[in-house]
Amino acid sequence: MTEAWRPEDDEPRGVSGPVRVRVPAKINLHLGVGPLRQDGYHELNTVYHAISIHDELTARRGDTLTLTMAGEGTGELALDESNLVIRAARALARSTGVPPHARLHLRKQIPLAGGLAGGSADAAAALVACDALWGTGLSRDELAEIAAGLGSDVPFLIHGGTALGTGRGEAVSPVLARPTVWHWVVAVAEGGLSTPVAYRELDRLRAARAAGPPLGSTDTLLAALRQPDPGVLAAALGNDLQDAALALRPSLAATLKAGEAAGALAGIVSGSGPTCVFLATGAADAEGIAAELDALDVCREARTAHGPVAGARIG
């Protein structure tokens, strides 16, 4: 992809100081799930949207590759070679021919296994941070290509904003949208849901015909993004994995109902769940809905967020 790094042409490359990268969580405004493919993935037709809940990854020079973590749920995350951050750093090193040496520290705010692509976000942050630390100078598209090998959502988190995802979700293209800021309430559930388990449950429900009809095209959602009324966007939101998440976690039905009763324009399960997200009319409404959800005890924690925001960025 790029020319290999050679020590002899090493005018000091990269930076000596720490590189700090912020990376957002994602939600899917439309998650259309097609049939199961030969490779074990489902064909997707999705509209990704990056929201203002961030993880932060700091990369420093080191003699080996190490990772430490603090924050949301990090006691549950493996710090070994299976961790997506470590795999991302190694993949970038391999592809550019540099030694994979860095001390990485991750501060997590995105819930684990929540349907918000937290692990994928951290992998995207590691690619951007190590690229700057090592001075490998890849373009966003080149980073996104490496990202696709790490997970279906990782390329989107390099780009951010609102974007169309096809293939297994890794083929990302920009969408034409008004510069509207949308206000969300994010109801974080107790515990997580496994993404492969949610997809398998959808296949099972479809085989038994207990799942709703597939969402189909993204046209209505894309048209809703070109106008300013959150009510129109609310009516266009949809997620084919929602039936599966509700079957696996029936209590989410009460969370969705409570958010809508509290004044949300619409609520959906985020990705494979169990996080639920609600579209609000504005920032103040979002605060009110979050306070009400917290008081009702229908989720672990309700947070407010806005979108779209940028993908993994230094600073």
Kindly state the tokens that stand for 247. 């079957």
Q: Smallest distance, Å, CB 178 to ligand C5P?
A: 28
Residue 228 within binding range of ligand C5P, rule CB under 6 A: no
Backbone angle region of 156, left / alpha / beta, with phi > 0 → left and psi within -120 to 50 → alpha:
alpha
Among 151, 230, 271, 311, binds ligand C5P (CB under 6 A): 151
20 or 26: whose CB is closer to ligand C5P?
A: 26
> Which of 131, 153, 243, 285 is the catalytic position?
153
Q: Please, which residue, 166 or 281, has the CB nearer to ligand C5P?
A: 166
Q: Which of 44, 308, 294, 64 is nearest to 176 (CA)?
A: 308
Smallest distance, Å, CB 83 to ligand C5P?
13
Contact window for ligand C5P (CB under 6 A) among 15-23, 35-43, 124-132, 176-184: 35-43
Sign of the four-CA dihedral 191, 201, 28, 143: positive
CA distance 222 to 62: 45
Of 88-96, 134-142, 194-202, 279-287, which part binds ligand C5P (CB under 6 A)? 194-202
Told to check if 26 binds ligand C5P by CB under 6 A, we report no
Candidates 108, 168, 183, 206: give the one binding ligand C5P (CB under 6 A): 168
Q: β-pairing, 276-280 with 182-188?
A: antiparallel
3 state DSSP class of 120: helix
- Would you count residue 32 as binding ligand C5P (CB under 6 A)? no
153 among known catalytic residues: yes
Q: Under a CB-based contact definition with an 8 Å cutoff, are residues 235 and 75 in contact?
A: no
* Binding flag, residue 205, ligand C5P (CB under 6 A): no
In whole angstroms, the minimum distance from the beta carbon of 282 to ligand C5P comes to 33
Residues in contact with 102: Cβ distance below 8 Å, sequence separation at least 6, in sequence order: 59, 60, 61, 62, 65, 66, 89, 129, 130, 133, 134
Question: Distance between CA 314 and CA 22 in Å, rounded?
Answer: 6
Separation CA 131–CA 129 (nearest Å): 5
To 5 degrees, how large is the angle CA 258–CA 304–CA 28?
Answer: 80
Contact residue for ligand C5P among 169, 230, 267, 311 (CB under 6 A): 169
Q: Is 63 a catalytic residue?
A: no
Nearer to ligand C5P, 131 or 153 (CB): 153
Q: Is omega for the bond preceding 274 within 30 degrees of 0, making it cis?
A: yes
Identified catalytic residue from 26, 55, 131, 243 = 26
Position among 83, 152, 242, 255 found at the interface with ligand C5P (CB under 6 A): 152
What is the residue whose two structure tokens read 């993004």?
A: 225
Closer by beta carbon to ligand C5P, 152 or else 275: 152
Toward ligand C5P, which CB reaches closer, 44 or 77? 44
Cβ-based neighbours of 170, under 8 Å, separated by 6 or more? 147, 148, 152, 154, 155
Instruction: Indicate the residue among 14 and 119 with the shorter CB distance to ligand C5P.
Output: 119
Active site residues: 26, 153
Task: Enumerate binding residues for ligand C5P (CB under 6 A).
Answer: 40-42, 44, 151-153, 168-169, 195-196, 199
